[in-house]
Amino acid sequence: MKKLLCMLLTAAALLSLCVAPAMAEDAAEINMFIASPEYADAVNELIAAYKEVAPNVTINYETTQNDYPTLLKTRINAGMTPDIFSTTSGKEIADYAEYSYNFASEPAAQAMDPAVAAMMAYGDGEIHGFALKGNYFGMLYNKAIFEEVGIEFPKTLDEFEAACEKLTEAGYQPVTTGFAEWWVFKHVMQHFLDAATDDPAALVAAFQKGEAHFADYPELYDNFFRFIDLCVKYGDNKPLETDLAGEDSAFGVGKAAMMIGQGAWVEADVLAIDDALQIGFAGYPVCDDPAKSQIIGGSDQALRINKDSANLQAVLDFVNWWYTSDYGKAWFCDVAGVIPPVTDAKVADMQIIKQGAELSQTDGAAALSICYSSDSFNQAMGEAIQAYIGGSIDKDACCAQIEAKWVELDGPAA
């Protein structure tokens, strides 16, 4: 089905040549280095479709997740900044502003959803990024397993622990974690940080200045670590060896009842394992207040255009085509299966996206607080928590290490 769909979409791209933006006829080579390897197949299909539109343009696409911030900085420092590269949105928009092109006047910027554009804004009306996708962040659960065991999805930490006990008694692994991936921890942590304050941006800023401490916030010092401990207790046999693929497998085959650290981007992969899987989506149980159990919505990743690109016009042509052509707008839903970051694209018929939209309306959505920190910090935070899980440091040492990294990597003098 996916191959047939891709063929149809490619045909549509060819038919829409007459209305596509005018393309430069000169040969050009675009180097694209971004994170999010889970979208590699979809991006390759996008590139193949663009080759039909602009045959003289070659796009060299490279993606990785592990140590991406370090690899990007190494290339920038070596004078090898990619034509298109990725950072987080929010704080890192300013951190990388000197390397990125302001394309506020381009058609792509005009097509961007205003909420997404707000995460890409810099200075006075400048736009320094565009999104690969919108996202919903929360916990996934197997509806059929919960129905079989006779329990509701937990909205408090006590309910979470009780649910894990009942799932274990029923013969299921309660949760799969993906703790081999450092980025899983930033996705989880932000829910507890949002629960700790009415102003997550201000709290993160206080941490970055060294003026805030985990011990002052029970939602972080007590609840977050309790949640991590419970996930280790009721999770994968070797949590620090379970990566994204391991999570997909454990959840997709019905071994694990819940999945953490992920979102809409894993739906296609788990349904490829079991296309009848009934996926539930909900906020994390972060405290004893069920109202604090909210999903998070927004665009956490920004794709940036190198302002000094030797092929700047070719890059702009590609990005404008991606965000405004019939194929490009359909790609988000029909190929990548993500929440479109543009205003007039259709929304994918996906379980997580549907539930995320409904929960945003009924319960509200918490702040995308990972964007208030850099990915360099988020990686350091994840590595500190991995050390805690591995037993090489205790909770207090882990908190102290995270606090120090917040100041070192994101603080005023960073």
Q: What is the 3-state secondary structure (H, E, C) of 244-255?
A: HHHHHHHHHCCC
Position with higher pLDDT, 188 vs 66: 188
Among 158, 185, 164, 181, smallest CA distance to 257 is for: 164
- In terms of DSSP bridges, do strands 256-259 and 173-176 run parallel, antiparallel, or are they unpaired? parallel
User: 2-133+301-348 and 139-294+374-410: same fold?
Assistant: yes
Residue 25 is predicted with a pLDDT of 61
Residue 1 is predicted with a pLDDT of 40
Question: pLDDT band at 14, cuts 50/70/90?
Answer: very low
205-227 tens-digit pLDDT: 999 999 999 999 999 999 999 99
298-330 tens-digit pLDDT: 888 899 999 999 999 999 999 999 999 999 999
> And the tokens for 186?
């930033």
Domain ranges of the chain: 2-133+301-348, 139-294+374-410
CA distance 180 to 115: 32
Residue 24 is predicted with a pLDDT of 52
Overall fold of domain 2-133+301-348: D-Maltodextrin-Binding Protein; domain 2 (3.40.190)
> And the tokens for 192?
């507890």
Cβ contact 133:338 at 8 Å? yes
Type of residue found at 40: A
Question: pLDDT band at 4, cuts 50/70/90?
Answer: very low
Of the given ranges (8-22, 186-200, 392-406), which has the lowest mean pLDDT? 8-22
Question: pLDDT band at 18, cuts 50/70/90?
Answer: very low
pTM of the complete model: 0.76
- In terms of DSSP bridges, do strands 121-122 and 126-127 run parallel, antiparallel, or are they unpaired? antiparallel
360-397 tens-digit pLDDT: 889 988 988 988 998 889 999 999 999 999 999 999 99
Q: What is the torsional sign of CA 325, 329, 331, 332?
A: positive
Q: Is the pLDDT of residue 268 over 90?
A: no
Among 106, 31, 49, 135, smallest CA distance to 330 is for: 49
Of the given ranges (81-90, 229-238, 280-289, 333-342), which has the lowest mean pLDDT? 333-342
Q: Is the pLDDT of residue 7 over 70?
A: no
Mean pLDDT of the chain: 91
Of the given ranges (257-261, 308-312, 355-359), which has the lowest mean pLDDT? 355-359
Instruction: Report angle CA 372, 375, 380 to the nearest 5 degrees.
Output: 110
Q: What would you report as the CA-atom Rg of the chain, rounded to the nearest whole angstrom?
A: 21
Q: Is the pLDDT of residue 293 over 90?
A: yes
Residue 26 is predicted with a pLDDT of 79
Q: How many CB atoms sit inside 10 A of residue 56's CB?
A: 13
164-199 tens-digit pLDDT: 999 999 999 999 999 999 999 999 999 999 999 999
Question: CATH classification of 139-294+374-410 is 3.40.50.300, yes or no?
Answer: no
Residue 409 is predicted with a pLDDT of 95
Question: pLDDT band at 233, cuts 50/70/90?
Answer: very high
Instruction: Report angle CA 250, 256, 258 to the nearest 5 degrees.
Output: 115
Residue 22 is predicted with a pLDDT of 47
CA distance 11 to 4: 11
99-127 tens-digit pLDDT: 999 999 999 999 998 878 888 999 899 99
Residue 67 is predicted with a pLDDT of 83
Among 138, 129, 140, 244, smallest CA distance to 190 is for: 138
Residue 355 is predicted with a pLDDT of 93
Question: pLDDT band at 50, cuts 50/70/90?
Answer: very high
